[in-house]
Amino acid sequence: MLKASVAAALTAALSLVTVPLPLSPVPITGQTLGVCLSGLILGPWWGAAAVATYLLLRVAGLPVFSGGRSGLGVILGPTGGYLLSFVPAAFVSGLIALGTQRRGPAGQSHKKRGPHGFARFLAASVVGSILVVHGIGSPYLAWHMGMSLREALLAGSVPFLPGDAAKALLAALVALSYHRRNR
């Protein structure tokens, strides 16, 4: 629980890193880095719990979303789909990075081999922070703003792909280093 709390706080701190884009209602933020790290380091369940805690703090009114904004209105606004995608993004990242449970002899549960190196962490980061976040956020943006999906992708996804790729790379490197030190 302590690690999940720290991950929620880290995501909140990273959300304060915000760069607005002139042609998009969606700013560039550090939030997805925190979301990805939560899943990669804590695993699917605790990573998702950390991100859910972060979102609940936001709904409660603490200024922990991008630019220090808070409240339910942000989640119900045009960027709400991206925010709501954070929980499944952390879960999926953790699931891919850390493997799944399988049953061994005599029904004993044991983890598949743990983290499988940089490629696995990078794949987990890309799927979680890019595919899941944009896959949920862009359709929500289209619906909320009355745009076509193409327009929403051009406004809410395409401008962010280079930065999201860099954050996915950074998350993979940090997670790999963390797991190597904590074996």
Q: What is the number of other CB atoms lying within 10 angstroms of the CB of residue 160?
A: 23
pLDDT at 21: 75
Domain ranges of the chain: 2-98+114-181
98-108 per-position pLDDT tens digit? 874 333 344 44
Beta bridge partners of 111: 101
In percent, the amount of the chain with pLDDT more than 90 equals 50
Pair 32, 93: CB distance under 8 Å = no
What does the alpha-carbon distance between residue 124 and residue 138 come to, in Å, rounded to a whole number? 20
Q: What is the pLDDT of residue 68?
A: 62
Per-residue pLDDT reduced to its tens digit, 26-84: 678 888 999 999 999 999 999 999 999 999 888 887 766 555 666 676 778 888 899 99
Task: Please provide the average confidence, as pLDDT, over all residues in the chain.
Answer: 83
Nearest to 155 by CA among 126, 134, 169: 134
Q: Please say if the pLDDT value at position 173 is more than 70.
A: yes
Which residue in this structure is represented by tokens 């996915």?
168
Q: Which residue has the tokens 């699917």?
A: 44
SS3 state of residue 9: helix
Q: Which CATH number fits domain 2-98+114-181: 2.160.10.10, 3.40.190.10, 1.10.1760.20, 1.20.1740.10?
A: 1.10.1760.20
